[in-house]
Amino acid sequence: MAQRDAPMAGVSGGTALDPWRLLDLARAAATQAARLAVERRPADLGVAETKSSPTDVVTEMDTAAESLIRELILGQRPDDAFLGEEGGAESGRSAVRWVIDPIDGTVNYLYDLPHWAVSVGVEVDGITVAGVVAAPRLGELYTAVRGAGAWCNDEKLRVRPTTELGSALIATGFGYRAERRRRQGAIAGALLPRVRDIRRAGSAALDLCAVAAGRVDGYYERGTHHWDRCAGALIATEAGAIVGGFEGAPASEQMALAAPPGTFEALHEALRELGADAVDY
């Protein structure tokens, strides 16, 4: 688990902005929400509502987990801003914003597959300074503090060494809209003969943690939201990955790419050759 044994980079401003304190609250919120999602998951869990497409689902537990996190965090820090997948944006009066995906991997959760996580990222003046990705059914709690490192439970994380693309195991994901999925499938199909293999596990936050843990050589995806990436991107970065979009842009809805240096550039180049940077999907 992340320990206060390393210097912080680039963040100051007193105890209210201390990234380690923010991490403590993020960890408490993520683990409580994760426990709620495990213990209160109804056996007959169904879809409560849909969003961008009929397959983009919300369960009652996404909403309950986000409410728990919101109440815990804003109960202690009422001046902070909050961005949650299910609740939209709430502005604040401090420099801090909490970026939450209460259940990343909702479809896995719906089907009772264990690969889902609660993601809590904390920004100060727009820079992510701490992040937690809690995957209770996997027994894994990922944490990171900006400038200090990333951990899975008690183990410090490090990305894999640079790999040539032909030997790289690449994680990806697909959006919810049918047209986007058709294009994403075509790009993944064209990438497949150029890499070792492709994995689609169903949680962008955990895909980023997998890069951090050296369980895959890289990850890319079009269409993720800030709440999917915020905590996981810090965890991957702190483990030594480059996280970004195309041509030096930050990771965004257009593209989130994460890989160790060297592998990142090779994957970036291959994806551009395959037209993954097109704007019309």
- Binding-site ranges for ligand IPD (CB under 6 A): 85, 101, 104-106, 173-175, 202-204, 221, 223-224, 228
Output the 3-class SS for the chain.
CCCCCCCCCCCCCCHHHCHHHHHHHHHHHHHHHHHHHHHCCCCCCCCCEECCCCCCEECHHHHHHHHHHHHHHHHHCCCCEEEECCCEEECCCCCEEEEEEEEECHHHHHCCCCCCEEEEEEEECCEEEEEEEEEHHHCEEEEEECCCEEEECCEECCCCCCCCHHHCEEEECCCCCHHHHHHHHHHHHHHHHHCCEEECCCCHHHHHHHHHCCCCCEEEECCCCHHHHHHHHHHHHHCCCEEECHHHCCCCCCCEEEECCCHHHHHHHHHHHCCCCCCCC
Which residue is catalytic, options 18, 66, 86, 101?
A: 101
Instruction: Verify whether residue 103 is a known catalytic residue.
Output: yes
CB of 13 to ligand IPD, least distance (A): 31
CB of 103 to ligand IPD, least distance (A): 6
Instruction: Verify whether residue 44 is a known catalytic residue.
Output: no
Which residue is catalytic, options 63, 73, 80, 106?
A: 106
Q: Between residues 149 and 184, which has the closer beta carbon with respect to ligand IPD?
A: 184
Tokens of 52: 């961008």
| Interacting residues of 189 by C-beta distance below 8 A, sequence separation 6+ | none
255: left (phi over 0), alpha (psi -120 to 50) or beta: beta
Q: Between residues 20 and 176, which has the closer beta carbon with respect to ligand IPD?
A: 176
CB of 172 to ligand IPD, least distance (A): 8
Q: Between residues 100 and 168, which has the closer beta carbon with respect to ligand IPD?
A: 100
Q: Between residues 163 and 203, which has the closer beta carbon with respect to ligand IPD?
A: 203
Which residue is catalytic, options 18, 80, 85, 217?
A: 85
Instruction: Verify whether residue 31 is a known catalytic residue.
Output: no
CB of 205 to ligand IPD, least distance (A): 6
Which residue is catalytic, options 62, 66, 80, 104?
A: 104
CB of 65 to ligand IPD, least distance (A): 11
Cβ-proximal residue to ligand IPD, closest one:
173
Q: Between residues 124 and 133, which has the closer beta carbon with respect to ligand IPD?
A: 133
Instruction: Verify whether residue 280 is a known catalytic residue.
Output: no
- Which residues are catalytic, by number? 85, 101, 103-104, 106, 228
